[in-house]
Amino acid sequence: MSRGVFVTGTDTGVGKTLAACALVHALRARGLRVAPMKPVAAGAVPRGDGWANEDTLALIAAAGPGGPSPEEVTPVLLREPMAPHIAAAREGREIRLDPLLDAHRRLATRWDFTVVEGVGGFRVPLGPSLDTRDLAVALGLPVVLVVGLRLGCLNHALLTADLVRSAGLRLAGWIANSIDPAMAVADENVAALAERLPAPLLARLPWSPDADPGDLAGLVDTPSLLR
């Protein structure tokens, strides 16, 4: 079995990519060759003579020189920034599981560790009978949950942790990301989750509109993740 983690979030916009990039930097600092992956991305920007997703490019930058290409990191790139099953339907495409798994296998044979970022939350539809949970289960990787610290995060985090467990996957850890600088009693919310989530807190990322994931890497408890 390949070494790696599947990064999911309590919702869209909670900082999964920032957390995934910080994880990549932290693992590289421990001497691991790390391949990031975002199998499905919705929302593309022009890049040279083609298109790319900004999250994909951030992950590639975190991997450093010699990392995988945008096509390897994101085998399914959809143009419009919307729910992926809707974006795919508008392009006349179908997102299928096997090509995503094949792409991950190719990365896993060439790198020591893979950090796979999901899309949206844990149950985002990818097709009529396929969602992000199915992808996570098929990959079989331990899950890292990114919790966006804002009102409602307790319920969202605990429900997602329950879904991860019911899918037969191990919650390897969670990352608290400060996305609302005005959130009241943030410390108490983190403490409440630490008491209730069956996994270690890997990092608490401070609020910053221009956060550099490389600077945040030192906050990530990679020994807990690699046990």
Active site residues: 38
β-bridge pairing 113-117 and 125-127: unpaired
Q: What residues contact residue 126 under an 8 Å CB cut-off, 6+ apart?
A: 40, 84, 85, 88, 95, 119, 132, 134, 135
- Check: CB of residue 126 under 8 Å from CB of residue 85: yes
β-strand partners of 34: 113
The residue type of 225 is: L
- Check: CB of residue 6 under 8 Å from CB of residue 136: yes
Neighbours of 130 (CB within 10 A): 18
β-bridge pairing 50-52 and 76-78: unpaired
Neighbours of 221 (CB within 10 A): 14
What ranges in 140-185 are assigned the alpha helix state H? 153-166
Token pair 């490389």 is at which residue?
214
CA distance 65 to 38: 18
